[in-house]
Chains A and B, each alone.
Chain A
Amino acid sequence: MLAVVLLKKAVFLSESALRPQPVQGLLATRRPFIGAHDLAALHHALSLREQAAVSRVAAITAGGSEADVILCQAYALGADEVFRVPWEGDAGLTDASPVGRVLAGVLAGLPAGVVFCGHLSPDSGRGLVPYVVAQSLGWPLVTRAVKVQMTPDLPHLRIHRDVGRGNREVVECPLPAVVTAVRYPSGWRYPKCARLLAFRRRNVPTLSPPSSPGMPSEKRWLADMEMTRARPRPKKIFTPDENLSAAERMKMIVSGGLKAKKGKVVDGSGADAASKVYEVLVECGYAPK
């Protein structure tokens, strides 16, 4: 089975993902790069290959020959095959919908079992392409994936979705499917120098969409598996400075801790102590004057 990763050639970062800034001047000087979400998508595809759930990973981008640099990065990071879909327009910024349809057409001609995309691109921040691809192909779309595993009973993917505020939803998705990824998981993949050099020795093949892609005949549905609540993020807590000596660290702990011992101490007994306690309560605002 083939896993396909759709990569966006990003050339600048907008200050706001929804309102791209006119930074045409910068375009000439900035190198294209793969956005963080697209990197996460590539990572998920590669990890499926490592789990032996897919046999090959193909990276596809739309654009002119200047987009080859994106494919070069994907190849160096471990993609088995790279393809470019020729596209003259401004892929992604204004042409998300037609680009999506063209990509869907290309995918229809490939033996793709799962298609990964970044949830949002770093420039336009719209994330329309995966929706268009899924709609055009009639495949299920699972958004905001943070962890992807193949279920033992193929061909289903078990996908952990980030549903906000740290909460996770787990769904099982029949294949083929389109999956969008939201962030790079822990750990990092580094490009391999040998593959960067190997990329230079090869020509990037191009793929053209068929003139009239066939529409799917059957609908497939997701299955909700579980919903896990976010683990509470630890609040900030007093932690001694690592640069201090061990003795100084210990001294700080003994004098502090989660519940510091320092406080008002009332000395005395009987009525005398009671009146002093009352004064403290008044001072702290717990008792009326």
Chain B
Amino acid sequence: MMFPRLFTPLTIKGVTIRNRIIATGHLTHFASTDGLVTQRLIDYHVARAKGGIGLIITESMAIHPSTAQSQYTIRLYDRQVLPGLRELTSQIKAYGAAVFCQLHHMGREMTSVDTMRPVVAPSALMDPLKREVPHELSKAEIRELVEAYATCTAHAREAGYDGVEVHCAHGYLIQEFLSPLTNHREDEYGGSFEGRLRFAREVIRAVKGAAGQMVVGIRIDGDEFVDGGLSLEDVQEIVVALVAEGLDYVGLSVGHDLNYPPIFPSMDFPLGCFVYLASAIKRLVDVPVYTSHRINDPALAERILEEGHADLVAMTRATLADPELPNKAKEGDVDGIRPCVGCLQRCFHRLRLRAPISCLGNPAVGREREFAPLPASQPRKVAVVGGGPAGLEAARVLALRRHHVVLFEQEEELGGMLRLAARVPHRDELMGIARWQILQLKRLGVEVRLGQRASAKDLAPFDAVVLATGAEYGPPSLVVSEQVPHYNTLEALELGEAEVAGKTILVVDRDYHNKALGLAERLAQMGAQVVVATEEAEVGVDLDLVNKMMIWERLRELGVKSISKARFEGANGEDVLVVHEGWERVLRGVGAVVVVDKPKANTLLAREMESQFPEKAVYLAGNCAAPRLTPEAIFDGYRIALEI
């Protein structure tokens, strides 16, 4: 076996976990707005259980009416959820996975939009991201919450869970009590270390009292990464004290609203970068410890176990990208595992948009029933034009469905826009998606014709045609100064160090995603003085929060400046007049302007087909249908491949 440690079962208090791969509790937005379990949620978890995962910790569930992560949060305090949860747990267990329930209270890290009640916290200190001043909990309210934890534990037991996990991480209520940053109480629930620990202790005692034979564990941040907050040493002390209360396992995590990016580490974070937190705890306790965050590869997981840093490895996003990861790893089919590249575009970002989660590489997430690639009843001869993410995905799924597929790509290499996207600093992992798709095409025996620009005539013999011809960047949509050279996105990517070093370059963001910021970083790394400007409220306004925070961290070090709500009012040679909210600013010595526009759909071949073969079944996928982002392109390819 390629990964012997990963597939060694582990028994925790009588519950045997068949392997060391687990999925941590994560919100999916698949529950109903009444907080009830839906078939979609069951299908989602069942797909992972079928895929061979050892343990599923279902999403964080509200223990009290004063908390809701969103309108899709399961209300564990309400007995109405029990029939649905019973169905969920029994179906997960039917496929051999263990299932734990996560008990959760958001504390101040929420808005009152969904509960219409005051946000509560140990102290009336405003959360920096949610910006609501919470109500300071009274002692009676604290007692009520402790009882709520016990009641919900009993509900979890009734629903057939194997264990419960008390959420003490991510800056939620229990961590707010633990941390001196958020607990300014002067009664017995605050002040000293023992005082701040009191609420967690009472909760764990109450949960243990109600749990019976169920496993009881916690998830806790290993380091708050905020000066004056809990450090690793503090957390070690806390964990030892809580384990003495009878915990059966400890899960390590990181990140909260005062230090947001690590909660959902993007591809800016190295793989396994927070394993050391679990390692530091594992040295101290006798109960199993799990680690998480950017562990996307069974080889890395095996190494973590081999080196003794943890007993279980959370591969949550990795199993989102490929639910079959455990089965494939067990069989040694490493090349078959669709990678999680940490892009955050359809998991984290869609949560922020209050939409159900999905995955850039795996459009079937949350659509397990309707997106099951069943064999075609009548295999057809299908041409796919374009070797970008949409075309590759369409060809892959078509071949999977036993159609005869020929892929045309005018370039000598496959990958399309992903190849360009991966050239921006810290985005190289994006190419992992295309690399996996290309490998699958080889395995499925898809005929790939590289360097061949398909014409309508070439496509005539096929039963159906999928056009994924992408989009193109035209001339810059804006001229700031006639005397200064202007470049579009593609041209800017080709600029060399000799052309940019020492120059002041104005990057105008009209794409509103990561491209302007990525180009700014690339140019600044080559020695340019970069100013990024946008007409919008901020540069990269549509980019997810984590990626935006991380890239700005680096841009600040590179001295990149930004101007939001910018209007270009005129120029005198290399001096550009910019108006920002009524203030006038002259950018002097601008040596070049990069205008990052949205690309234009390449519909040349589509129109040609329409005129020459109007009866032919032609489908448009990805940017050639409408210029969008990679996840939408892959989704198009998958969807269309199912329609043919």
Query: A residues touching B (Cβ–Cβ < 8 Å)?
Result: 231-235, 237-240, 242, 245-247, 249-250, 253-261, 265, 269-270
Contact assessment for A270 and B413 in the assembled complex, using a CB-CB cutoff below 8 Å: yes
Assuming A242-B231, A256-B270, A258-B304, is B412 touching A237 (CB within 8 A)?
no
Contact assessment for B307 and A239 in the assembled complex, using a CB-CB cutoff below 8 Å: no
Contact assessment for A258 and B233 in the assembled complex, using a CB-CB cutoff below 8 Å: no
Q: Which residues of B sit under 8 angstroms from A261, Cβ to Cβ?
A: 270
Name B229's closest neighbour in chain A (CB-CB): A246
A253 touches which one: B273, B280, B308 (CB < 8 A)? B273
Assembly CA distance A249 to B227 (angstroms)? 10
Taking residues whose C-beta sits less than 8 angstroms from the other chain, chain B's interface range is 35 or more
Name A265's closest neighbour in chain B (CB-CB): B428
Min CB distance A98 to B, Å, is 42
Q: Which of B128-136, B190-198, B218-226, B586-594 contacts the other chain?
A: B218-226
Contact assessment for B272 and A233 in the assembled complex, using a CB-CB cutoff below 8 Å: no
Assembly CA distance A249 to B276 (angstroms)? 12
Q: Would you give 18 A-B contacts (Cβ < 8 Å), ordered by A?
A: A233-B283, A234-B282, A234-B283, A235-B308, A237-B276, A239-B276, A250-B259, A250-B262, A253-B274, A254-B270, A256-B270, A257-B269, A257-B270, A257-B271, A257-B272, A258-B300, A259-B271, A269-B412
Assuming A231-B308, A235-B307, A258-B304, is B233 touching A242 (CB within 8 A)?
yes
Secondary structure at the A interface, as helix, strand, loop or mixed, is loop
Assembly CA distance A269 to B413 (angstroms)? 8
Q: Which residues of B sit under 8 angstroms from A238, Cβ to Cβ?
A: 276
Contact assessment for A232 and B306 in the assembled complex, using a CB-CB cutoff below 8 Å: yes
Min CB distance B14 to A, Å, is 15
B232 contacts chain A at the CB level, 8 A cutoff? yes
Min CB distance A144 to B, Å, is 19
Q: Which residues of B sit under 8 angstroms from A259, Cβ to Cβ?
A: 270-272, 300
Min CB distance A166 to B, Å, is 10
Q: Which residues of B sit under 8 angstroms from A242, Cβ to Cβ?
A: 231-233
Name A269's closest neighbour in chain B (CB-CB): B413
B309 contacts chain A at the CB level, 8 A cutoff? yes
CB interface residues, B 232-283, toward A, < 8 Å: 232-233, 259, 262, 268-276, 279-280, 282-283
Contact assessment for B223 and A249 in the assembled complex, using a CB-CB cutoff below 8 Å: yes
Q: Which residues of A sit under 8 angstroms from B227, Cβ to Cβ?
A: 245-247
Assuming A234-B282, A257-B269, A270-B413, is B306 touching A246 (CB within 8 A)?
no
Contact assessment for B226 and A258 in the assembled complex, using a CB-CB cutoff below 8 Å: no
Q: Which residues of A sit under 8 angstroms from B273, Cβ to Cβ?
A: 253-254, 256-258
Assembly CA distance A242 to B300 (angstroms)? 26
Q: Which residues of B sit under 8 angstroms from A235, Cβ to Cβ?
A: 307-309
Name B297's closest neighbour in chain A (CB-CB): A259
Contact assessment for B275 and A246 in the assembled complex, using a CB-CB cutoff below 8 Å: no
Contact assessment for A253 and B269 in the assembled complex, using a CB-CB cutoff below 8 Å: yes
CB interface residues, B 303-358, toward A, < 8 Å: 303-309, 311
Q: Which residues of B sit under 8 angstroms from A257, Cβ to Cβ?
A: 269-275, 294
Assembly CA distance A232 to B303 (angstroms)? 12
Name B308's closest neighbour in chain A (CB-CB): A232
Q: A233-B308, A235-B307, A258-B273 are in contact. List 16 more A-B contacts (CB 8 A).
A: A232-B307, A234-B308, A235-B308, A237-B275, A237-B307, A238-B276, A239-B232, A239-B279, A239-B280, A246-B227, A253-B273, A257-B272, A257-B273, A257-B294, A259-B270, A259-B300
Q: Which residues of A sit under 8 angstroms from B232, Cβ to Cβ?
A: 239, 242
Contact assessment for A246 and B259 in the assembled complex, using a CB-CB cutoff below 8 Å: yes
Q: Which residues of B sit under 8 angstroms from A246, Cβ to Cβ?
A: 224-227, 229, 259
Min CB distance A239 to B, Å, is 5
Q: Which 6 A-B pairs have the closest CB atoms?
A: A257-B270, A257-B273, A232-B308, A258-B272, A235-B307, A234-B308
Q: Which residues of B sit under 8 angstroms from A270, Cβ to Cβ?
A: 412-413
Assembly CA distance A231 to B288 (angstroms)? 10
Q: Which residues of A sit under 8 angstroms from B306, Cβ to Cβ?
A: 232
Q: Which residues of A sit under 8 angstroms from B300, Cβ to Cβ?
A: 258-259
Min CB distance B373 to A, Å, is 32
Name A259's closest neighbour in chain B (CB-CB): B271
Task: Name, among B225, B270, B309, the residue most crowded by chain A CB atoms within 10 Å (CB to CB).
Answer: B270
Q: Which residues of B sit under 8 angstroms from A247, Cβ to Cβ?
A: 227
Assembly CA distance A161 to B239 (angstroms)? 27
Q: Which residues of B sit under 8 angstroms from A231, Cβ to Cβ?
A: 308, 311
Assuming A232-B307, A235-B307, is B225 touching A258 (CB within 8 A)?
no
Contact assessment for B307 and A234 in the assembled complex, using a CB-CB cutoff below 8 Å: yes
Min CB distance B458 to A, Å, is 23
Name A230's closest neighbour in chain B (CB-CB): B308
Q: Which residues of B sit under 8 angstroms from A269, Cβ to Cβ?
A: 412-413
Min CB distance B450 to A, Å, is 10
Assembly CA distance A231 to B305 (angstroms)? 10
User: Per-position contact with A for B440-474: 1 when CB-CB < 8 Å, else 0?
Assistant: 00000000000000000000000000000000000
Assembly CA distance A235 to B308 (angstroms)? 6
Q: Which residues of A sit under 8 angstroms from B274, Cβ to Cβ?
A: 253, 257
Name A256's closest neighbour in chain B (CB-CB): B270
Name A239's closest neighbour in chain B (CB-CB): B276
Q: Which residues of A sit under 8 angstroms from B276, Cβ to Cβ?
A: 237-240, 258
Assembly CA distance A255 to B550 (angstroms)? 12
Min CB distance B223 to A, Å, is 7
Assuming A254-B268, A259-B270, A259-B271, is B309 touching A234 (CB within 8 A)?
yes
Q: Which residues of B sit under 8 angstroms from A237, Cβ to Cβ?
A: 275-276, 279, 307, 309
Min CB distance A278 to B, Å, is 18
Q: Which residues of A sit under 8 angstroms from B233, Cβ to Cβ?
A: 242
Name B286's closest neighbour in chain A (CB-CB): A231
Assembly CA distance A265 to B427 (angstroms)? 13
Assembly CA distance A90 to B275 (angstroms)? 54
Name B557's closest neighbour in chain A (CB-CB): A251
Name A261's closest neighbour in chain B (CB-CB): B270
Min CB distance A227 to B, Å, is 15
Contact assessment for B225 and A260 in the assembled complex, using a CB-CB cutoff below 8 Å: no
Min CB distance B290 to A, Å, is 14
Q: Which residues of B sit under 8 angstroms from A260, Cβ to Cβ?
A: 270
Q: Which residues of A sit under 8 angstroms from B279, Cβ to Cβ?
A: 234, 237, 239
Name B554's closest neighbour in chain A (CB-CB): A254
CB interface residues, B 59-79, toward A, < 8 Å: none
Q: Which residues of A sit under 8 angstroms from B226, Cβ to Cβ?
A: 246
Min CB distance B583 to A, Å, is 30
Task: Name, among B231, B233, B550, the residue most crowded by chain A CB atoms within 10 Å (CB to CB).
Answer: B231
Q: Which residues of A sit under 8 angstroms from B428, Cβ to Cβ?
A: 265
Min CB distance A111 to B, Å, is 35
Assembly CA distance A247 to B225 (angstroms)? 7
Q: Which residues of B sit under 8 angstroms from A258, Cβ to Cβ?
A: 270-273, 275-276, 300, 303-304
Assembly CA distance A235 to B304 (angstroms)? 9
Contact assessment for B225 and A250 in the assembled complex, using a CB-CB cutoff below 8 Å: yes
Q: Which residues of B sit under 8 angstroms from A233, Cβ to Cβ?
A: 283, 308
Assembly CA distance A260 to B272 (angstroms)? 9
Q: Which residues of B sit under 8 angstroms from A249, Cβ to Cβ?
A: 223, 225
Min CB distance A237 to B, Å, is 5
Q: Which residues of B sit under 8 angstroms from A265, Cβ to Cβ?
A: 428
Name A260's closest neighbour in chain B (CB-CB): B270
Min CB distance B204 to A, Å, is 20
Q: Which residues of B sit under 8 angstroms from A239, Cβ to Cβ?
A: 232, 276, 279-280
Assembly CA distance A232 to B270 (angstroms)? 24
Q: Which residues of A sit under 8 angstroms from B268, Cβ to Cβ?
A: 254
Assembly CA distance A46 to B268 (angstroms)? 54
Q: Which residues of A sit under 8 angstroms from B413, Cβ to Cβ?
A: 269-270
Name B279's closest neighbour in chain A (CB-CB): A234
Name B228's closest neighbour in chain A (CB-CB): A246
Name A232's closest neighbour in chain B (CB-CB): B308
Min CB distance A253 to B, Å, is 5
Assembly CA distance A208 to B233 (angstroms)? 53
Name B426's closest neighbour in chain A (CB-CB): A261
Q: Which residues of A sit under 8 angstroms from B259, Cβ to Cβ?
A: 246, 250
Q: Which residues of A sit under 8 angstroms from B225, Cβ to Cβ?
A: 246, 249-250
Name B234's closest neighbour in chain A (CB-CB): A242
Q: Which residues of A sit under 8 angstroms from B283, Cβ to Cβ?
A: 233-234
Q: Which residues of A sit under 8 angstroms from B305, Cβ to Cβ?
A: 232
